[in-house]
Amino acid sequence: MASRICIRRIISIIVTFVSFLLLVSFSSFPALASAGGGSNGTRVAFRSGEELLRFQRIKAHLDKMMNASVKTIQSPDGDVIDCVPSHLQPAFEHPKLRGQKPEDAPTERPRITAVHGDADAAAEAADDGEQGLPQAWWRSGESCPEGSIPVVRTTEDDLLRASSVGRFGMKARGGGFARRDSTGGGHEHAVGYVSGAHFYGAKASLNVWPAQVASPAEFSLSQIWVISGAFGHDLNTVEAGWQVSPRLYGDKSPRFFTYWTNDAYQETGCYNLHCSGFVQTSNRIAIGAAISPISAYNGRQFDITILIWKDPKQGHWWLQLGSGALVGYWPSSLFTHLGARADMVQFGGEVVNARPPGAPHTTTQMGSGRFPGEGYARAAYFRNAQVVDWDNSLVPAAGLRLKADRPGCYDIAGGSGGAWGAYFYYGGPGRNARCP
């Protein structure tokens, strides 16, 4: 017995000593070269040996993606796009997906319920077409070959901007979804939601804005959530929309994003392709890339149409942009509750207010930064909010309930009828006379 205790103590001492050596040696050097090829000269301080090892694992993963690339595209906005063979994408490093290849597109998509009516504003909304989503990197004139997917290159600078290496590419624990009774972790929402039934997907069109974000620790997004499980416990979600996040992306451009979790944002899931899980099938859409063009105040409006639905045959949750472009899917094996169906669907906006309690509210904008009362071409909107029913049919989101956590900061107002079906305007400027 004594010998076993002695051995355990020796092992513990060795592990502690090695971790100490790693911390000392690594923090003595400047950060490694970014994607641009030069050193940024920043000294790296890791809080533990475990965080250092995670950094090294992520770095090895990033190098693997870059080395696997069959083509590299320089985007005019500064992004670097690597064309990675689809079977080598991050998804297939997940234990439940290893050895797999991307599934074929579903043979049956949700049946569309025609929406009739007359709305001049609807005619002005841009159609994003079969290609799905216009992005800044398209202006390069280059594209990824068939059999590969475009991956926005993640640099070490991106990693070092994160609040911690361990949470890179993830939302904060306990935040990220609209809890209908309060805000959580500084997350504030203005959403429309349906619940109390079984849902198999959702669809809506939302216009894209250059929302102003007050600090790198904050973000502004607009998205669809497909949800099942218990809030704050074992929540399952799949999510997609647009987001402005200086910390995650290094700039203030609105970017297309995806997210998923199966444990209420605790330890699973991530944005985009920052962890294994989401399987991308498109060679035209770069998840995490900037959207271009975008809406202008009192000018032309550009919106994107997002459809998420559960394939009745394979059970995966597929993501479609525009009128037909498939981005990829979240495998059903990733989830517990969403393995069967969703219990709630939400549409709307979310911001993070990182200001300390008692301080003035953040000026981070939601949507266009204007309140719903300003209407079309001024306020942000969702139109034609629909859900997928048990028969794989798209039907209007009947009984859509509207909820704003702090109406004086970010509000929501809507209606139904005409070419816009179920719709709402939402958003606001954050700090103002009604939101001190």
By annotation, the residues acting in catalysis are 239, 350
Alpha carbon distance 280, 86 (integer Å)? 7
Rounded to the nearest angstrom, the gap between the alpha carbon of residue 254 and the centroid of all alpha carbons in its chain is 11
Q: Is 171 helix (H, G, I), strand (E, B) or coil?
A: coil
Local structure of residue 250 (DSSP, 8 states): S
Parallel, antiparallel or unpaired: strands 201-207 and 148-152:
unpaired
Q: What residues contact 67, with CB distance under 8 A and at least 6 apart?
A: none
* First-to-final CA distance of the chain: 65
CA quadruple 203, 343, 315, 111: dihedral positive or negative?
negative
Rounded to the nearest 10°, the torsion over CA 345, 349, 354, 356 is -80
302 closest CA partner among 370, 254, 371, 350? 254
Structure tokens of 382? 């969702």
Q: Considering all CA atoms of the chain, what is the largest pairwise distance in Å, rounded to the nearest integer?
A: 84
Is the preceding peptide bond at 293 cis, omega within 30 degrees of 0? yes
Backbone phi, psi, residue 257, to 5°: -140, 160
Q: Locate the DSSP E strands across 299-367.
A: 303-310, 317-321, 325-330, 342-352
75 closest CA partner among 244, 322, 249, 286? 286
Check: CB of residue 165 under 8 Å from CB of residue 54.
yes
- The H or E element spanning position 202 is strand 201-207
Alpha carbon distance 89, 112 (integer Å)? 32
Alpha carbon distance 265, 287 (integer Å)? 20
Count Cα neighbours of 81 within 13 Å in the Cβ-side half-sphere.
28
- The H or E element spanning position 61 is helix 49-68
